Amino acid sequence: MQALPDTLCYLNGEYTPVSKAKVSVLDRGFIFGDGIYEVVPVYGRKLFRFDEHMARLARSLASLSIDNPHSAEEWLERCRRLIAELPEEDQMIYIQVTRGVAVRDHAMTKGIAPTVFMMVNAMKLPSAETLKKGVACVTASDFRWERADIKSTSLLGNVLARQISVDAGATETILMRDGLLTEASSSNVWVVRGGTVFGSPKSKHVLEGIRYELIRELCEEEGIAYDLRPISEAELRGADELMLSSASKEVLPVTQLDAHKVGDGQPGPVFARLHAAYQRAKAAQSI
């Protein structure tokens, strides 16, 4: 087991080492997974796509009828305080808001203060070798609930899905619902066919990653066609290139799917262009 991090974290107004931060066992996050989260990348001590992450955090809270406990400026101030604490320039901020502490009852308790937790860790990006070789993925049926669009801390379905790839020695589990691609256990999936980048349509079955819009912008910059439409299993399996995206994976080439080569089994040219464009975006746009 990895040693637990003991960096500074934020809990309900206090900055404290992670080992000292304590929440009530009656917190609805602990009892029901009744909360939401965000993961914001930080490059060179600057927050990447912060406004977009704040907008999604607000949407997630609204979908659970939890009032946003902070303004964007207050969130920013707290993020900056945590960023200043770590020696690493590139970091990941984790933000979690739960409904709060209450007598156990499924009904949404009113009038309680949300629990706010934030922590920061050094960013762990895919290595140069991984980017050169690509990663292996496996497929599975998407057995998660019907509100995968909410970035909720109720992640048991995603945990079970991820473990399928862990057990198979692969990096991610790509999920299919009713014969169509949804996403992966903790990433969005991009299918390249005939030079076009295809993604699943935004729906209740897919978490809209912050990279959805970013990849659209990068494709536009690069003159690569981009389209969101239902993607069949046959299209997934017959892809020229496959990619994953997430805050910590950025864009990552998938070169094996269920032990078969994707395309020629090497990271492809569309990946290479998007990855380079992503690196330029990191350098250009941060708060």
Ligand X SMILES: Cc1ncc(COP(=O)(O)O)c(C=O)c1O
Give the relative orientation of helices 50-63 and 72-85 as an angle to the nearest 10 degrees: 120
Q: What is the DSSP code string of 51-90? A: HHHHHHHHHHHHHTT----S-HHHHHHHHHHHHHH-S-SS
Cβ atoms within 10 Å, residue 39: 17
Smallest gap from Cβ 174 to ligand X, in A, equals: 11
Note whether 20 and 94 are within 8 A (CB). no
When the beta carbons of 171 and 186 are compared against ligand X, the nearer one is: 186
Q: Is 151 a catalytic residue?
A: yes
Binding to ligand X by residue 210, rule CB under 6 A?
yes
Binding to ligand X by residue 186, rule CB under 6 A?
yes
Beta bridge partners of 16: 9
When the beta carbons of 59 and 112 are compared against ligand X, the nearer one is: 59
Catalytic annotation, pick one of 22, 132, 151, 202: 151
**Of 96, 121, 173, 188, which lies in the binding site for ligand X, with binding defined by CB under 6 A?**
188
**Of 121, 139, 171, 246, which lies in the binding site for ligand X, with binding defined by CB under 6 A?**
246
| Tokens at 124, concatenated | 């762990």
When the beta carbons of 101 and 180 are compared against ligand X, the nearer one is: 180
Stretch of residues binding ligand X (CB under 6 A), selected from 94-102, 105-113, 183-191, 275-283: 183-191
Smallest gap from Cβ 24 to ligand X, in A, equals: 26
Interacting residues with ligand X between 17 and 46 (CB under 6 A) = 39
Q: What is the DSSP code string of 177-214? A: ETTEEEEETTBEEEEEETTEEEEPPPSTTS---HHHHH
Smallest gap from Cβ 48 to ligand X, in A, equals: 11
Among candidates 59, 104, 54, 98, which has minimal Cα distance to 76? 54
Stretch of residues binding ligand X (CB under 6 A), selected from 73-81, 121-129, 206-214, 278-286: 206-214
Binding to ligand X by residue 158, rule CB under 6 A?
yes
When the beta carbons of 83 and 206 are compared against ligand X, the nearer one is: 206
| Tokens at 49, concatenated | 């796509």
The pair phi, psi for residue 230, each rounded to 5°, is -55, 135
Q: Which residue has the tokens 């069949």?
A: 232
Binding to ligand X by residue 205, rule CB under 6 A?
no
Site of interaction with ligand X (CB under 6 A): 39, 158, 183, 186-188, 207, 209-211, 245-247
Residues assigned a catalytic role: 151
